[in-house]
Amino acid sequence: MKKWNLVIDVAQCFNCNACTMACHDEYFGNEFPGVAAEMPRLGHRWIEIRQRESGAFPVVEVSYLPVTCNHCDNPPCLKAARDGAVVKRADGIVIIVPEKAQGQRQLVEACPYGAIWWNEDKQLPQAWPFDAHLLDGGWTQTRGAQVCPTRAMRALCVEDEEMQRIVREQKLAVLHPEYGTRPRVYYRNLERWTRVFVAGSVAGKIAGVTECIEGARLTLEKNGAQIAEATSDAYGDFRFGGLEEASGAYKVCIADRRFAPKTLEVALGKSAVLGTIMLEQGPAV
């Protein structure tokens, strides 16, 4: 049968928080029996926009990651629940049943994504229920997806085989696949959150004047093998992205017909900004 999935494009999220506010508007002041009790006015972010900064001045990349209940096919909260407090619906949606979950704080600790919130006043664990009451009423998108100005968020109700085809074609990924929870929230361009980069600028003296060097050829090497290449732009800037954090030693090799070749060694922890790299006059390549 068809099941619900959520697809989020990290590259399109710019932290407007429209989805977060739409979620708050839907659940604060409202009760939806069997689906969700009222959200507190303050303190809960059932759709939470997390922020990550990479690099250093002048090359800084800021990425935003909307995180919510992943509606896992192997949900840890379901295993931790007592007395039917958590249910996994046939359409893929996971519900913390408000009438049965009171006092079960262990559900908060059970979620490895930090997506279950504790309502102190109600003594109740709560999470985003995929707007199940709206979808059951005929809606085709969640409120967060409807209000997203960049269409970074969209809900899909398809059979599992179709969803896996979409995952392959659009190169989607899930958060922490190593957890084994099999989430139904998928991300596009997740490497903006999980990966790091090496960047810098190339300059040199032409006719005695220091200039940005456009068109320099750069290669990135690891363990003696070339893994990426780039060309400096009109400002002399270059960037190698999609690298694993704390992945060790790299070499950046720079070649331009007007200058001597240059090689720099980089020990990559987090994103590395090499600053302005001056090329020297010498045998050209």
Q: Which of 153, 127, 126, 158 is nearest to 142 (CA)?
A: 153
Which pLDDT does position 24 carry in this prediction?
98
Q: Which residues contact 95 (CB under 8 A, 6 or more apart)?
A: 34, 35, 86, 87, 89, 129, 132
- What are 144's two structure tokens? 């967060």
Cα–Cα distance, 85 to 97 (Å, whole number): 5
Note whether residue 83 is domain-resident. yes
Q: Of 149, 167, 193, which closes a domain?
A: 193
Q: Is the pLDDT of residue 35 over 90?
A: yes
- What are 194's two structure tokens? 């999980």
Statement to judge: residues 157 and 217 lie in one domain: no
Q: Is the pLDDT of residue 142 over 90?
A: yes
Which pLDDT does position 281 carry in this prediction?
86
3-state SS of 82-147?
CCCCEEECCCCCEEECCCCCCCCCHHHHHCCCCCCEEECCCCEEECCCCCHHHHHCCCCCCHHHHH
Statement to judge: residues 118 and 189 lie in one domain: yes
Note whether residue 284 is domain-resident. no
Statement to judge: residues 213 and 142 lie in one domain: no
Query: How many domains are there within the chain?
Result: 2
Q: What is the pLDDT of residues 230-269, one digit of tens each?
A: 999 999 999 999 999 999 999 999 999 999 999 999 999 9
242: domain range?
Answer: 197-279
102 contacts 164 by C-beta, under 8 angstroms: no
Statement to judge: residues 94 and 226 lie in one domain: no
Statement to judge: residues 178 and 220 lie in one domain: no
Angle, CA 43 vertex, CA 42 and CA 48 arms, to 5°:
115
195-62-266-239 Cα dihedral, nearest 10 degrees: 90
Q: What is the pLDDT of residues 213-228, one digit of tens each?
A: 999 999 999 999 999 9
Angle, CA 202 vertex, CA 198 and CA 206 arms, to 5°:
175
248 contacts 239 by C-beta, under 8 angstroms: no
Statement to judge: residues 188 and 210 lie in one domain: no
Statement to judge: residues 203 and 187 lie in one domain: no
Note whether residue 259 is domain-resident. yes
Q: How far is CA 17 from CA 6, 50, 65, 100, 131, in A?
A: 17, 10, 11, 31, 17
Statement to judge: residues 132 and 7 lie in one domain: yes
What's the whole-model pTM score?
0.89
Domain with residue 206: its CATH number is: 2.60.40.10
Cα–Cα distance, 125 to 115 (Å, whole number): 10
Statement to judge: residues 184 and 210 lie in one domain: no
- Average pLDDT rounded to a whole number, residues 178-182: 98
Statement to judge: residues 127 and 153 lie in one domain: yes
Note whether residue 149 is domain-resident. yes
Q: Of 133, 168, 193, which closes a domain?
A: 193
Q: Of 169, 193, 217, which closes a domain?
A: 193
Domain with residue 82: its CATH number is: 3.30.70.20
Note whether residue 187 is domain-resident. yes
Note whether residue 285 is domain-resident. no
Cα–Cα distance, 133 to 33 (Å, whole number): 9
Note whether residue 72 is domain-resident. yes
Note whether residue 86 is domain-resident. yes
Q: Which residues contact 138 (CB under 8 A, 6 or more apart)?
A: none
Which pLDDT does position 116 carry in this prediction?
98
- Average pLDDT rounded to a whole number, residues 58-81: 97
Q: What is the pLDDT of residues 39-69, one digit of tens each?
A: 999 999 999 999 999 999 999 999 999 999 9
Statement to judge: residues 166 and 207 lie in one domain: no
Which pLDDT does position 179 carry in this prediction?
98
Statement to judge: residues 114 and 48 lie in one domain: yes
Q: How far is CA 204 from CA 218, 233, 251, in A?
A: 15, 14, 20
